[in-house]
Amino acid sequence: MFTIQKKGGILKMKSWKSLLAITILFTSLFFPAIYQVGAFGPEVANDVNFSSDIIYQIMTDRFYDGDVTNNPTGNLFSSDKSNLKKYLGGDWQGIIDKINDGYLTNMGVTALWISQPVENVYAVMNDASGTTSYHGYWARDFKKTNPFFGSMADFDLLISTAHANGLKVIIDFAPNHTSPAMETDSTYMENGRLYDNGTYINGYSDDTNNIFHHNGGTNFSTIEDGIYRNLFDLADFNHQNPFIDQYLKDAIKLWLDKGIDGIRVDAVKHMPLGWQKAFMDTIYDYRPVFTFGEWFLSEGEVDSANHYFANESGMSLLDFQFAQKLRQVLRNGTDDWYGFNQMIQDTATAYDEVIDQVTFIDNHDMDRFNYVGANSRNVDIALAVTLTSRGVPNIYYGTEQYMDGNGDPNNRKFMTSFNQTTTAYKVIQKLSALRKTNPALAYGDTEERWINSNVYIYERQYGKDVVVVAVNRSTANSYNITGLYTALPQGTYADILGGILTGNSISVSSNGAVTPFDLGPGEVGVWEYKINESSPLIGHVGPMVGQVDQTVTIDGEGFGTASGSVKFNSSSATVVSWSDNQIKVKVPSVAAGKYNITVVKSGGTISNVYDKFEVVSGDQASVRFMVNNAYTSSGQNVYLVGNVYELGNWDPSKAVGPFYNQVIAQYPTWYFDVSVPEGKTIEFKFIKKDGSGNVIWEGGLNHQSTTPINSTGTVIVNWQN
Ligand code: NOJ
Ligand code: NOJ
Ligand code: CA
């Protein structure tokens, strides 16, 4: 009965209805792993750690029509589902039906990412196919539901049904824009009009409130251009507008109050980093949930700004670098496993927390992985690699049914079947089960153990837990694997996939040497070793950033059942709860900065060091800093430093910038939107810095400004010589 006790705590926390407890009681009998106490695995209540989860991405309109009465009519709808630019009828009831009939839980996925749930435009585009907002990215009211997906009551039922079945729910959220608009033609679509729970605010052509940018469309030439101009024709929010700032924060709180477990943020490359940091601070302060952004990268693209965002924003990112490289190796044939292994090594250092980035093989913005004429085994191999690699795996709906389709909207067809016996479905089933029980997949590092252009054998290891994966992408060649060593202890290991991808058992001798074996064409083998740690080992800390007194969840192993202590550098944190694999603590009262977290087990054994926790100086607000007359010579840029942690504590190497000078204001005026502590009188100066780190300080006294509370701010000064 310990399972119910634990669940009781969760219920109390989320104040769910007691009726649900009964459902959960039954569910826990069928899915005991999910609710087991003291064992590693995805907990539906753990919203800050998705490392052992498997996400399933659903375009709500394209999955299953569970309620025909909410379907649109007229030219919004394609009743025979032939026009993929129309609504096709899928809805939240459809997802509920597919939870209840076991399709999702039998597959083993533990989180659902659904389309943006908010009310979208009803207008139909005046193009050949009459495009609609079926995808959910054309919001008109962020505080109402899209009626074609369902009512608020339907949404509540989706959340409660998902939770009762051990599934988390992630919503897509697109705070970059409303909908397509034209400055000069207010009759085009809905002119980007925004509503606040039914109250009209304004549209793009009557923007007297200045809630939108009016700088034309971006040509994607620079990040600044992409932020402050429109993405395509989408009415682009001015996040410095105090109303919009609060509106978007209130809207996300509304959905957080509904019990969502995660957020996928659309188009993060196209919004100011400062505003997004302040937005994340609001979320972490209100109810922390795992949040990952979309920063699109094309095939072969590596972007340090993408890594910087993942490390600085407080959000994780969709791991496009991983996805594109895997597609090169297994779909497009433009790279091999050496390239893949290099990507694994590069991203392990580029991302502060690579295990929090969300991996995938395809999505609604790229060609589906499978295509007509492709070898479907490549889908199976790609899934096997993704589900056993670092990062939180995300599976795009229909991949398990080998759906194909190049380009939008052919990559967004209506779900074709719900067959639970496809090989891909079974691969997901087997490996999601492994992901739930062996923390080497969630937290382990990755080591290449044997490689050639067709064969990749890699090992994931966390403490003594080990998973070894061998893949052969060749359709023709078998390889004799000799000289393979692993960290697996001596013994014989059965293929976790049970031979679905023709894998076999392997034998390991006492020195880790694996008895030579053949890896046949298209073969994948997965082998594991799992033992409970007795020494404390931190696997994950979530969120990685927080204010003093905020609750932080530390997941790992071997913490012991008796309470020990947790240190942020040398400061002890107040323990909220303690179990062998999870500790919750409050951020101690320390100065803002980066901290090392260690767990000291009762009895004194000290854990590994988690060295990436960031304490911020309090509630954050987005302030636009502008400096006039800052003339620079070539190679120099303008940066900001000041007397708070967020402004680098006067350290020029930690200054904020480089500032922008093209769109909102032009050289010699420079500007940047910065996340700073609220309601504080701060002192600051601008500096000019070049690529070699040479610094020229502004003269005169420090500038001073008091930052706003629950709002945004603007500070304009002249450069002091
Ligand atoms: C990225 C989304 O994934 C894409 O589908 C959408 O059209 C754009 N952002 C704009 O919201
Ligand atoms: C990355 C991000 O900061 C955030 O989305 C997540 O909650 C933390 N890591 C911790 O899991
Ligand atoms: Ca429907």
As for ligand 2, residues whose beta carbon falls within 6 Å of it are 48-49, 290-291, 314-316, 353, 356, 542-544
Nearest CA to ligand 2 atom 11: 542
| Annotation says 119 is catalytic | no
Q: Give the SS3 label for residue 563.
A: coil
Radius of gyration in angstroms for the set of CA atoms belonging to the chain, rounded to a whole number: 26
What pLDDT was estimated at residue 564?
A: 98
Beta partners for residue 598, in sequence order: 567
* Average pLDDT taken over every residue of the chain: 94
Sign of CA dihedral 673, 677, 678, 681: negative
For residue 522, is it left (φ>0), alpha (ψ between -120 and 50) or beta? Answer: left
- Could you tell me the distance, in angstroms and rounded to a whole number, from the CA of residue 356 to the centre of ligand 2? 6
Question: Which residue among 135, 142, 178, 268 has the greatest number of ligand 1 atoms within 8 angstroms of its CB, and so is best to mutate?
Answer: 135
Nearest CA to ligand 2 atom 4: 315
- Could you tell me the distance, in angstroms and rounded to a whole number, from the CA of residue 56 to the centre of ligand 1? 18
Give, as one character, the DSSP assignment of residue 274.
H
For residue 239, is it left (φ>0), alpha (ψ between -120 and 50) or beta? Answer: alpha
Q: Give the SS3 label for residue 352.
A: coil
Q: Give the SS3 label for residue 641.
A: strand
**pTM summary value:** 0.93
H-helix or E-strand containing 32?
Answer: helix 32-35
What pLDDT was estimated at residue 144?
A: 98
Look at residues 115, 170, 113, 174 and name the one whose alpha carbon lies nearest to residue 141: 174
Q: Please report the atom of ligand 2 found closest to the CA of residue 288.
A: 7
Contact 359, 386 (CB under 8 A): yes
Q: Please report the atom of ligand 1 found closest to the CA of residue 137.
A: 11
Contact 310, 263 (CB under 8 A): no
Weakly modelled stretches of the chain, pLDDT under 70: 1-39
CA distances 631 to 180, 187, 477, 600, 689, Å, are 38, 44, 63, 53, 12
- Could you tell me the distance, in angstroms and rounded to a whole number, from the CA of residue 664 to the centre of ligand 2? 31
Q: Please report the atom of ligand 2 found closest to the CA of residue 289.
A: 7
Taking the CB of residue 688, how many other CB atoms lie within 10 A of it? Answer: 20
Q: What is the dihedral of CA 671, 677, 682, 686, to 10 degrees?
A: -30
Separation CA 654–CA 12 (nearest Å): 43
Q: Token pair of 244, please? A: 């919009």
- Could you tell me the distance, in angstroms and rounded to a whole number, from the CA of residue 267 to the centre of ligand 1? 7
- Could you tell me the distance, in angstroms and rounded to a whole number, from the CA of residue 169 to the centre of ligand 2? 16
Beta partners for residue 497, in sequence order: none
Separation CA 553–CA 576 (nearest Å): 10
As for ligand 1, residues whose beta carbon falls within 6 Å of it are 135, 137, 174, 266-267, 294, 364-365
Give, as one character, the DSSP assignment of residue 707.
P
Contacts of 172 by beta carbon, 8 Å cutoff, 6+ apart? 113, 114, 115, 116, 117, 136, 137, 264, 266
| Annotation says 294 is catalytic | yes
Taking the CB of residue 682, how many other CB atoms lie within 10 A of it? Answer: 20
Look at residues 646, 635, 647, 644 and name the one whose alpha carbon lies nearest to residue 686: 647
H-helix or E-strand containing 19?
Answer: helix 18-30
Out of 141, 224, 266, 555, the active site residue is 266
Separation CA 324–CA 628 (nearest Å): 42
Q: Please report the atom of ligand 2 found closest to the CA of residue 51.
A: 11
Ligand nearest to the CA of 235: 1
What pLDDT was estimated at residue 29?
A: 41
Look at residues 399, 335, 325 and name the one whose alpha carbon lies nearest to residue 369: 399
Nearest CA to ligand 2 atom 2: 315
Q: Please report the atom of ligand 2 found closest to the CA of residue 292.
A: 5
Separation CA 107–CA 56 (nearest Å): 10
Q: Give the SS3 label for residue 517.
A: strand
Taking the CB of residue 690, how many other CB atoms lie within 10 A of it? Answer: 14
